[in-house]
Chain A
Amino acid sequence: MGTATNISQIDEGLRSELQKKGIFVSSLEDLYNWGRRSSIWPLQFGLACCAIEMIATACARYDIDRFGAGLFRPSPRQADLMIVAGTVTKKMAPQVVRLYNQMAEPKYCITMGACSISGGPFKDGYNVLKGIDRYIPVDVHLPGCPPRPEALLHGLMKLQQKIDSQEIEKTAWYQKGLKREFPVPEFGPNGLNPPYNPEVFTPEQHREITVG
């Protein structure tokens, strides 16, 4: 993810001079993004042990509410951010994709922990999806097994940087004819069908690993 590119056009010196006089100058875009990034409501669900760390992040000691993301919503219609916290089994994957589809734009996704990034230690399991990025676009990949609460806060701050860098005129959800509906995989005879969504995911080329 790139750093914030959306920098205000106002001259820094002028701005600080005006600020001394008690006049705050900003662009509408900055104000708009400041509002958006300061109230990211996450979807309240957890899939495995990473959810315990997510709960710890929401509790008093780490307090994710300091960053405006403390209001965990029980409905996807009210949520801005999906934190995929834990192992996504093949049986659970369709529901996760459906929940993401049901969220209103603009929506973001953080994959929390090794499992939801790639399958993690269960990568070779017959029942585990090798990463939720096979079906939905992911904004922040957050490694760890599980990531500590500080890491989740760092991931959230990275997402806030990304939101800050978005421009209202160019963002996808204000364009006409946007249809961001990701196909929900179906249960097949030996796994999910399809195994990934080619529009958002390209499998890595298979490499032979030789030892010695």
Chain B
Amino acid sequence: MKTLEEIKKDIESCYSDATVTVEGTSLVVPKERWLEVAKFLRTHPEYSLDYLSSVTGVDYKEYLEVVYHLYSIEKKEGPLAVKVRTDRQKGLVPSVTPFWRSAEFQEREAYDLVGIHFEGHPDLRRILMWDEFQYHPMRKDYVQEDQDRPEKEF
């Protein structure tokens, strides 16, 4: 597989105004350009990353992040880790479900537990917690209920 620097150059030659950065072992893509970059990585014959193995939501206190792990079954290559960042208040990231159907449930999980909203998701609702649950338990500032609280505080 190509190195991250080469992938970065390939993306930027296709989309001149996209500012992709390499951080450690992953690519960081701005969320405004993520749909285009995803389509490029999915369809370009040199990459054809046709398998999305995981979508992970992370809370970094200052911002939220979505980590995608991409593989190519066709070329037997991967993984390529792509990170997309968004703000904490209204964490909005475009959904990649149209490109990889496996993203549907995983994006619901990231929405449920971290509170990242995926724009264009066909059915964005809670997947693990119950519908009446009001918080996002994997956020750093989530406070658990006290199951042992006295009866008068019910």
Contact = CB atoms under 8 A, between A and B. Distances in A.
A56 to B, nearest CB: 29
A203 B133 contact: no
A183 to B, nearest CB: 12
A121 interface: no
B90 to A, nearest CB: 20
Contact of A187 (B133, B135, B137): B133
Nearest to A129: B147
Interface of B: 128-135, 137, 142, 144-151, 154
B130 A91 contact: yes
Most chain A CB inside 10 Å of its own CB: which residue of B134, B142, B144: B144
Interface in A77-123: 90-91
Nearest to A204: B148
A124 B146 CA distance: 10
Nearest to A94: B130
Main secondary structure of the interface of A (DSSP, over half): loop
Given A127-B137, A193-B154, A195-B154, A188 B132 contact: yes
Interface string A39-64: 00000000000000000000000000
Contact of A206 (B133, B135, B144, B148): B148
B147 A126 contact: no
Contacts of B149: 195, 203
B132 A187 contact: yes
Interface string A193-204: 111101000011
A134 B142 CA distance: 24
21 contacts: A91-B130, A127-B129, A129-B147, A130-B147, A130-B148, A134-B147, A187-B130, A187-B132, A188-B132, A189-B134, A190-B133, A190-B134, A190-B144, A193-B154, A195-B147, A195-B148, A195-B154, A196-B148, A198-B151, A203-B147, A203-B150
Contacts of A190: 133-135, 144-145
A22 to B, nearest CB: 59
A190 B130 CA distance: 10
Contacts of A195: 145-149, 154
A191 interface: yes
Q: Which 4 A-B pairs give the minimum distances between C-beta atoms?
A: A203-B148, A191-B145, A189-B134, A126-B137
Contacts of A206: 148
B89 to A, nearest CB: 20
A90 B128 CA distance: 11
A196 B129 contact: no
B147 A196 contact: yes
Contacts of B148: 130, 195-196, 203-204, 206
B14 to A, nearest CB: 43
B147 A191 contact: yes
